[in-house]
Structure 1
Amino acid sequence: MKIISRINPNALAYSMTTLGAGMMNSIFSFYYVKLFLNRYRISEAAFHQAQVVFMIWNAVNDPLFGYIQDNSRVPCCSRRQFSILYGAPLYGLAFLLPWFPWKQYEENDWLSGLHLIISLCAFDGLLTFVLLAQCALFAEISTKHESRLQLIKYNQVATLVGSTSILFCGLITDNMENFNYFQVFVVVVGAVATVCMCYTGLYSTTEYEQQEIVADGSQLGSAERDLSWSSVILLTKQILTQRNFLLFVTMNFFQVFHLAFCNNFMMIFADNLIPKDVLSSSIRSIMYGAGFICPQCLVLISQALLKKFGYYKIVLFSFYLEGTAAAVMFFLGPEYYYLLAVYLTANMVIVQASFSLFNLPLADIVDADLVKHKRRLPLSSMVFGTNALFTKPAQSLAPMLVVAILNQFGYAHLNNKATQPDPSLFLGLHDAMFSMICLVPLCIAALQVLTWTPFSIQNSHLTPVHKL
């Protein structure tokens, strides 16, 4: 009873969307590339075309939905909770699109390319609509650093539980080898995730809604939300001229690229670089699950460090750690299979853990914008959406570049049962894979250190931005 009484109902409601989205997003990002490359045998050209379409849509839909949610008078768009409540069922359905082929695909079938385009765009569109509303909730539930840390804590517990979907999916479906089991599993995940997100839509509240109730704020909200396109352009310009925002967006672009690199290709790299007699299928499932579960554990046990040092120093330290680990692994070489498995998992854990903290600097940027321009209401969705405009393309660039490089070394022929490719070709493929898993994190870490160091909101854990 004491534990139940100590639960913050608003933080719990907020985190339920994280739980549902985490279950679906981790499975989607981890399996879709391997599914279309290895099972549907999509051509490289069709894969790149789908990624280009996805990159454009991915960049455009975030500021578009940000504008709609910050300025619309329609409740299902203007109310964060309603956006989540009505968007959740469609989000769950979009998650199921890639896992059910429209026919028995032949190699290089054009229909598999269309299937990928629709799957990516539908899933990301609904993901953006729902999670952008949740990001705005994070900034608007409270302006206090302690309250936001509590949200982070609840969020990480939800993400921890949600990310176990990768572990159970791997164990139940033998890492997607049993595809019928896999299809049943994703249907169950989609249904449970939808229910979780609807809970947020029904039971969460924000600080600004409470203020509007007291001040009869319906007129207050409409006056500020009645914006023309010229006003939107002006507001976007005001956001883009903030130095801290530009520094954060640049750093975040590389983080999103690195995260997509890990999520989409960790399984492919491990399957090719670590012999199957070294790591069994069940151990690999645990390894892949750890890549999604351990980041949340790491953030949870770092709460005291976050309160003491703040997110700025923690994130900066993670960049140095990633770069050092990549350099050490590169000099050791690919022959140390167990160490390579630990490195692949640890790299993914660090990248995901630091990325989990990025709502904190974005929320501080929202607060700084509110204070600087003396706004009545924060432009939460627009700030988060504008950030996504510049960072989301990295989600497409990462798989495009990696697949192009891998195919230069014969990866496209790896699963071709009709022909017997030259085994020596795969020696170059394995060397290329190993170089990428070391040099890509090393270069990204160096660039992130350069862009994150000048970020000036470094002590919001001591003094809230709105009091500076």
Structure 2
Amino acid sequence: MPPLRDRPERRPITCRKPPLSQWSGGEEEEEAFTIWKMKFVLGIHPNALAYSMTTLGAGMMNSIFNFYYVKLFLNQYKISEVAFHQAQVVFMIWNAINDPLFGYIQDNSKVPCCSRRQFSILYGAPLYGLAFLLPWFPWKHYEEGDWLNGLHLIVALCAFDGLLTFVLLAQCALFAEISTRHESRLQLIKYNQVATLVGSTSILFCGLISDNMENFAYFQIFTVLVAALATACMCYTGIYSTSQYEQRETAVENTSLENNDKALSWSSVISLTKQIMTQKNFILFVTMNFFQVFHLAFCNNFMMIFADNLIPKDVLSSFIRSIMYGAGFICPQCLVLLSHTSLKKFGYYRIILFAFYLEGIAAAVMFVLGPEHYYLLAIYLTTNMVIVQASFSLFNLPLADIVDADLIKHKRRSPLSSMVFGTNALFTKPAQSLAPMLVVTILNQFGYENLNNKFSQPDPSLFLGLHDAMFYLICLVPLCIAVIQILTWTPFSIQNSHMTATH
């Protein structure tokens, strides 16, 4: 197989509509005409659309899961701090292991449901949808200190993340394999952000329909509808998406069984992982990304808790709060779409670096102003979440460039896309557990676990310390993370791929 850069691009479909006689007489002609209409009459690129449908489905579920599960288990299921930490430790271990494991399986397995990116998405989507529903339906009426709610959290976290990894790792690999051209990847980002924008509205509608989870029955009904719709969206990707490496399975099948056994050996796993990890840019990216994942989990899991405690209910109504929480998930996608021209001109490196400076400056200004400015605090919480999520949405671009660099450096027949994305996740995913563990520990030191206790009347002065702790967290955590990310992202050397990309 020729090197990636030397491969001829597929010839584009001509923009001139063929004679109508060519579109009659069979299903293939009807399908081709449908694709022609989508691309040239409606202005839609069918492959990019198919790719983005998984983003739409996953976005609807992930937004709700990450935003509500911590508050649900802490406030409604009354999980103890010990059980919460135990669940997060188990989740952290599983979260770190499953990404490189699934990445290696998808890059080297001969089973179609694993080796084909599209089949991984198609067959994993229904299970992904079912795993999403696990947290919202309690296994019994939980009492305070009940051990079963801890087990429930472990199963819900591990099942959801395992299926999320299996499906989205295949989609991430598709991103790197659909095309190597910077313009094509920006087009995928554009479609992706539109899909994420639509998917993120699930938070807004969920908050409005369930009164921010106060009406739990409505909340449960809404999650079932989201799971069904998301599964259908992801199945669309599995059926209709294509990549330039679709023929790689044919070449793999022609290799000997001895080579197959060797490819699946542990020594091969270690060797390939070592090759990926020796890239300086990969190390810099992973370090920066670890803190980004931590910051994102910090925002997703605690934005509602911080806002409910620091901003009085007579200042912001429930409706306005729903709009605020929805904006935290919707506006990032609008921001990325609006920055499409800037991405073409300046590249993702400078845009991401600028976002880090902006986060740090905003946190410092808010810290100086203090917690009494409630409207500014609401704007800050929303803006911080928007910037963090928007910059995180661009991270597939540097990872795809790292995949390309690894392919060229080691002269591979096909890219190790899933392994690169999976190895990245091995080191960054633990931050998803560390963030809630650290924050819950700090908050409980100031009496948060007693905040919703109906049977005791804690000292109100204790909550003054709790509110101060919350304010320091929402200012100092983003500030410290921004400084670390600036220091680690600045030496990243793939800074001009938007200028050197082939056309």
TM-score range, shorter chain: over 0.9
- SS for the counterpart of 2:347 is helix
Alpha-carbon distance in structure 2 between the residues aligned to 1:92 and 1:428: 40
From the superposition, tell whether residues 449 and 217 of structure 1 become closer, same or farther in structure 2 (CA, over 3 Å).
same
Q: 1:132 aligns with which of 154, 159, 169?
A: 169
From the superposition, tell whether residues 272 and 220 of structure 1 become closer, same or farther in structure 2 (CA, over 3 Å).
farther
Displacement of 1:222 in angstroms is: 7.9
Structure 2: where are the runs of 5+ without partners?
1-36
What is the letter of the counterpart of residue 274 of structure 1? I
- SS for the counterpart of 2:78 is coil
Displacement of 1:108 in angstroms is: 1.2
1:153-195 CA-to-partner distances (Å, cap 9, x unmatched) read: 0000000000000000000000000000000000000000000
Is the 1:73–1:222 contact (alpha carbons within 8 Å) kept by the matching residues of 2? no
Alpha-carbon distance in structure 1 between the residues aligned to 2:427 and 2:61: 24
Q: 1:356 aligns with which of 388, 393, 408?
A: 393
Alpha-carbon distance in structure 1 between the residues aligned to 2:376 and 2:186: 34
Is 2:69 aligned against 1:35? no
Larger Rg: 2
Alpha-carbon distance in structure 2 between the residues aligned to 1:320 and 1:275: 30
Query: What TM-score do the two structures reach when normalised by structure 2?
Result: 0.90
Q: 2:193 aligns with which of 156, 161, 174?
A: 156
Q: 2:293 aligns with which of 247, 253, 256?
A: 256
Structure-1 residue corresponding to 2:135: 98
From the superposition, tell whether residues 221 and 302 of structure 1 become closer, same or farther in structure 2 (CA, over 3 Å).
farther
1:387-413 CA-to-partner distances (Å, cap 9, x unmatched) read: 000000000000000000000000000
Alpha-carbon distance in structure 2 between the residues aligned to 1:330 and 1:221: 61
Alpha-carbon distance in structure 1 between the residues aligned to 2:444 and 2:256: 54
Displacement of 1:4 in angstroms is: 4.6
Q: Percent identity?
A: 84
Calculate the aligned-residue CA RMSD, in Å.
Answer: 1.5
Is the 1:311–1:357 contact (alpha carbons within 8 Å) kept by the matching residues of 2? yes
Is 2:343 aligned against 1:309? no
Is the 1:409–1:426 contact (alpha carbons within 8 Å) kept by the matching residues of 2? yes
Q: How does 1:192-211 map to 2 (within 5 A)?
A: 192-209=229-246
Structure-2 residue corresponding to 1:83: 120
Displacement of 1:6 in angstroms is: 1.8
Query: What TM-score do the two structures reach when normalised by structure 1?
Result: 0.97
- SS for the counterpart of 2:213 is coil
From the superposition, tell whether residues 10 and 60 of structure 1 become closer, same or farther in structure 2 (CA, over 3 Å).
same
Count how many residue pairs are aligned between Structure 1 and Structure 2.
463
Is 2:485 aligned against 1:448? yes
Displacement of 1:290 in angstroms is: 0.1
What is the letter of the counterpart of residue 336 of structure 1? H
Structure-1 residue corresponding to 2:97: 60
Alpha-carbon distance in structure 1 between the residues aligned to 2:102 and 2:207: 34
Alpha-carbon distance in structure 2 between the residues aligned to 1:277 and 1:110: 37
Q: How does 1:266-305 map to 2 (within 5 A)?
A: 266-305=303-342
- SS for the counterpart of 1:461 is helix
1:176-217 CA-to-partner distances (Å, cap 9, x unmatched) read: 00000000000000000000000000000001115x49xx53
What is the letter of the counterpart of residue 359 of structure 2? E
Structure-2 residue corresponding to 1:217: 251
Structure-1 residue corresponding to 2:7: none
Is the 1:366–1:383 contact (alpha carbons within 8 Å) kept by the matching residues of 2? yes
Structure-1 residue corresponding to 2:12: none
Is the 1:322–1:347 contact (alpha carbons within 8 Å) kept by the matching residues of 2? yes
Structure-2 residue corresponding to 1:331: 368
Structure-2 residue corresponding to 1:142: 179
From the superposition, tell whether residues 321 and 109 of structure 1 become closer, same or farther in structure 2 (CA, over 3 Å).
same
Q: 2:210 aligns with which of 173, 177, 190?
A: 173
Alpha-carbon distance in structure 1 between the residues aligned to 2:232 and 2:89: 32
Displacement of 1:265 in angstroms is: 0.0
Structure-2 residue corresponding to 1:377: 414
1:120-169 CA-to-partner distances (Å, cap 9, x unmatched) read: 00000000000000000000000000000000000000000000000000
- SS for the counterpart of 1:409 is coil
Displacement of 1:221 in angstroms is: 7.7
